[in-house]
A and B are shown apart, each in its own frame.
Chain A
């Protein structure tokens, strides 16, 4: 159906008098209408039914007296099939009452036989006008409904966006609160971590003073060694707190240079050799992965932290392995430990400041909860990535992708 122009001219005549029907058909065709004529109510209804749903039918001219059924019945049925169809009843004198009844049933008008062509034309033109308006209204209503629906869906979309934004906000607030809580946890934890070695130091110093006369040389030496070791622990703690606060405040300053990963790894391993008896560090740096441009000291810090962690969490006798392989645009450095593994639900948390795994606290593995946070910040600063693979019971592997910054070195004029 096309509602626009020229389509408000389809008519159907239902009249059993062929002379009348045909005459009217010819008359109306001349006036520019498309006119079908059928002789019985049944045919008329079949014709109306056969129209595609929604196809427009401007008017049906129905003879009140039809051989097979009453014109009023035809009208009712036609209205049921196509409520928009305009109906004009054609009636003789005797059927005036029926014709008036038809108006009550929704007919547009009636024409009394014998009719004048001019009268018929004028009624049909009025009908066409009315149908056009009706259809136009329909169309506008439809459009309005569509616009409303679109508006509705846009409102819904917006609401959804808003809800998503709200959720995000809530999550952000929660994260901030968590970070705040973590920070105050940190202060309380730091006070604990600092006070424990302090308590031991002060306690043993006081013991030396109190028992000075009675103490044997061996005991005295032993206490002094404890005091010294605890002092070292304190020093390391303070260093990592400082490192962390510098990174937080100023970010990381970088100096790129070309260096040999093999010799850097060897010197890192050397530096860690005092840590624990029994934990061996195997290093594997194949030739193709030896040379890289990055910040040597930052990479050293990262490797030191990762390896120190690996050694710390690996039981004595287990092996820690550092291996490198050339990757696209950089080198991938893996540090595998023989530790207990990291449960899946905390794998992201361990990079958060001050987070320490319950097991680590339980095992009293010394730490500030800053090592991995510092490491991650350094990796990020180098433009790298830090990944973690872990299986409970068979250790964890931290994978550090170190991008080769040879390009940056040229840009910076070899600084």
Chain B
């Protein structure tokens, strides 16, 4: 069996990280976390995750900027990034897609749906 797929969760809200972790782990995913955009970008390099779940509103560097950086680095460009945000206006989604995000997850989200989406993108990486 192949090694467990690794998912990087970038979010400053520790309970949201925990929520995603306790739901992703039983599905066989390895979860690593970063508390802000800047360390999210760093960990996308050092941890080589298979997928990134990223909050938009974060300290030091927001999700858009972190996503843009990950997508402009040839070493991390291939990793699908799913943005998570309470901002679900059309403009926010557009901005996310422009930043290179594979998809956009609205808060409050259904954990079962998040897992489905994660699985979908891991089968067919964007």
Chain B hits for A362, CB < 8 A: 36, 59-60
CB <8 Å contact, B108 and A230: no
Structural contact, A206 and B60, CB atoms closer than 8 A:
no
Q: With the chains together, A202 CA to B19 CA distance in Å? A: 10
A-B contact count (CB 8 A): 65
CB under 8 Å from chain A, chain B span 74-92: 85-87, 89
Contact A210 to B112, CB < 8 A, known contacts A203-B19, A361-B59: yes
9 other A-B residue contacts (CB within 8 Å) besides A195-B108, A196-B107, A210-B112: A191-B86, A191-B87, A192-B57, A192-B107, A195-B86, A196-B13, A199-B108, A199-B109, A203-B109
In the complex the two chains form, what is the Cα distance from A204 to B107 in whole Å?
Answer: 13
The contact of A206 among B15, B57, B112, by CB within 8 Å, is B112
Contact indicator B112/A230 (Cβ below 8 Å)? no
Q: What residues of chain B lie closer than 8 Å to A226, measured between beta carbons?
A: 15, 18
Instruction: Tell me the chain B residues, 18-34 only, with Cβ under 8 Å from chain A.
Output: 18-19, 22-23, 26
**Complex CA–CA separation, A363 to B109 (angstroms):** 24
Q: Does B111 contact A (CB under 8 A)?
A: yes
- The reply to whether the CB of B12 lies closer than 8 angstroms to some CB of chain A is yes
A214 beta carbon closer than 8 Å to chain B: yes
Give the contacting residue for B16; candidates A196, A210, A361, A363; CB below 8 A.
A196
Supply 14 A–B pairs (Cβ within 8 Å), ascending by A. Answer: A192-B85, A192-B86, A192-B87, A194-B86, A196-B86, A199-B19, A199-B86, A199-B109, A200-B13, A206-B111, A211-B26, A219-B22, A226-B18, A363-B59
A196 closest partner in B (C-beta): B13
Cβ-closest chain B residue relative to A358: B59
B-facing mask of A175-218, CB < 8 A → 1, else 0? 00000000000001001101110111011101100110010000
> Which label, helix, strand, loop or mixed, suits the secondary structure of the B interface?
loop
Assuming the contacts A196-B16, A362-B60, A363-B59, asked whether A207 and B111 have C-beta atoms less than 8 A apart, the reply is: yes
Residue B116 at the chain A interface, CB threshold 8 Å = no
Cα-based distance from A196 to B19 in the complex (angstroms): 12
Counting contact residues on chain A (CB < 8 A from B), the size range is 20 to 34
Residues in A neighbouring B111, C-beta threshold 8 A: 203, 206-207, 210
User: Of A204, A206, A214, which is within 8 A of B110 by CB?
Assistant: A206
Query: Does A364 lie at the interface of the complex (its beta carbon under 8 Å from any beta carbon of B)?
Result: yes
Binding site for A on B (CB under 8 A): 12-13, 15-16, 18-19, 22-23, 26, 36, 57, 59-60, 85-87, 89, 107-112
Q: How far is the CA of A315 from the CA of B12 in the complex (A)?
A: 18
- B19 neighbours in A (Cβ, 8 Å): 199-200, 203-204, 207
Query: With A and B bound together, what is the CA distance between A219 and B19 in angstroms?
Result: 12
> How far is A361 from B57 in the complex, measured between Cα atoms in Å?
9
| A207, B107: Cβ atoms closer than 8 Å | no
| Nearest CB on B from A364, distance (A) | 5
Interface set, chain A 57-87, CB cutoff 8 A to B: none
CB contacts (< 8 Å) of B13 on chain A: these are: 196, 200, 364
Inter-chain contacts of B112 with A (CB < 8 A): 206, 210
Please indicate the chain A residues that have their CB under 8 angstroms from the CB of B16 in the complex.
196, 199-200, 203
Hey, which chain B residues are within 8 Å of A195, CB to CB? 86, 107-108
3 shortest interchain CB distances as A-B pairs? A362-B59, A195-B86, A199-B108
User: By CB atoms of chain B within 10 A, which of A198, A202, A230 has the most?
Assistant: A202
On whether the beta carbons of B22 and A207 are closer than 8 Å, the reply is yes
CB neighbours (8 Å) of B57 from chain A are 192, 361
Assess the B15–A202 pair: CB atoms within 8 A: no
Tell me which residues across on chain A come within 8 A of B36, comparing CB atoms.
362
With a cutoff of 8 Å between Cβ atoms, the chain A residues found around residue B86 in the complex are 191-192, 194-196, 199
- Chain B residues with CB below 8 A from A214, complex form: 26
Contacting residues, chain A, for B26 (C-beta < 8 A): 211, 214
Task: Tell me which of A188, A211, A363 contacts B87 (CB under 8 A).
Answer: A188
Contacts of B18 in A (CB 8 A): 226
Report the minimum CB–CB distance from B50 to chain A (whole Å).
22
How far does the Cβ of A362 sit from chain B's closest Cβ, in whole Å? 3
- Distance in angstroms between the alpha carbons of A191 and B111 in the assembled complex: 20
Q: Provide the bound-state CA to CA distance between A145 and B85, in Å.
A: 71
Shortest Cβ distance from residue B114 to the other chain A in the assembled complex, whole angstroms? 9
Q: How far is the CB of A186 from chain B (nearest CB, A)?
A: 13
Contact in complex: A203, B59 (CB < 8 Å): no
- How far, in whole Å, are A144 and B115 apart by their CA atoms in the complex? 89
- Report which residue of A188, A196, A198, A203 has the largest number of chain B beta carbons within 10 angstroms of its beta carbon: A203
Interface residues of A in 336-388 (CB under 8 A from B): 361-364
Q: A279–B81 Cα gap in the complex (Å)?
A: 39
- Chain A residues lying within 8 Å of B109, measured Cβ to Cβ, are 199, 203
